[in-house]
Chains A and B, each alone.
Chain A
Amino acid sequence: MENSGAQLAQETEWIKRAQRGEPEAFGPLVEKHQQRVFSLIYHLVRRRDEVEDLAQEIFIKAFRAIRSYNFQSSFATWLSRIATNHCYDFLRHERASRVSFYWQMGEHSQQELETNAESKPEQQLDHEEQTVLKDLVAKLLDRAPENDRKILVLKELQDYSVEEIAEILNLKPTTVKVRLHRARKRMLEDLRQWREENKGHAL
């Protein structure tokens, strides 16, 4: 996310031209930020088939709203705010399935996975364990309240700093820290509760 002075000046020029209504100037901005936007959409929505359509809608929304961008925050942060809100509008209509591979494992396999996840770096888990673990966290995210999910995705999956998240979500950095702490805690509590609910259902 480091921007040299020249790159920043160039980006500012593109933004100002786009603010004057020149779509051609918006093209380089799309090319520069598309990867991050695609990644954010994917982590929030987790539907590969929807990512490109959503990205297109987000960039069109951003172009229409670009006159309201006032250079107070970075353009990437401003764009992420639009993307996050747009994905949530989408998710309010489409909720993913809540069944997780984790609960389809036998109790013994679950315990083995937990022990392995505790003792090994995650990349040393076998492919199936990795798939189950990713699916478990994705489903936990899906179950999480909207504010928890936003903050966890931005911090844990998009690697934004607390200060950047504060800008994206219009919060104070101290509030972000508190919310992040609560979101992690709630997710662990939810896992425990979910485990209780599924105790009898494990194969």
Chain B
Amino acid sequence: MIWRAFASEWVKMRRRRLWYGSYGAIAAVVVLTTIVTIAGALHHPDSHGDLTLAQLAHASGLSQGLTQSGVLLGAVSFSIAAFQFGGEFAHGTLRNLLVRQPRRSTLMAGKCLAVLTFLIGAVVAATIVAICAAFVMAHLRGISTGAWTSGAGMADLGTLLGDLTISACGFAIIGMIAGVLLRSSVIAIAAGLAVLLPLETILTDAIPGMARWLPAQLLEAIAQGGSSTAHFGAALTTVSAYLLGAVMIAVLVFVRQDVTA
């Protein structure tokens, strides 16, 4: 049953415009942060501890740019997922789907899996493009890339890709929840991005230690493999608990609510 909902959702997501838009946006975000990171690297260390060309030549240098793309990647993932879920209410297509699949939790699970696989594909594709961009930038800035292709470099890249994927999926799940609860893609995207980006940043700046509790901050920490304020394991545990609770509420609401759209 979940497979049917999954396959059905993929019929929609196969359309070219969605691919170009989503994959393009995610690739653009990742490539842009990679280029900016490498282009902005200093020749010599400064007092601020900014990234240097020598640091970029290490095995972890390839993933330095990708690390910075966590929040923007998350914002795009959130928007895509919120659009896919909220749009069903806004377009009135949800009623068609529910007549063919009255098991609402099954429908939601299938749609969720489809959106996540779509996003995982997008993150992987964007990472490949970003790696290409990183090599080009390294050549332009005279950075040695020998260490990037070493075993340690590849392991580092693999770990980062996993972290980015987890982070993007976390943002996407929040997007789906927002879409279901707010029943509108536009409102879900607007409200969600307002809360996840500026509001969380303000709260983090205003209240010390807040970054350990806010979902977008935690997901950003996960994308970076852990940060000074939130270690990877703690961030993953806290976010997982948030998402589990929120998903349960969203499923409960979705299953019980009257479909009047």
Co-assembled chains A and B? no
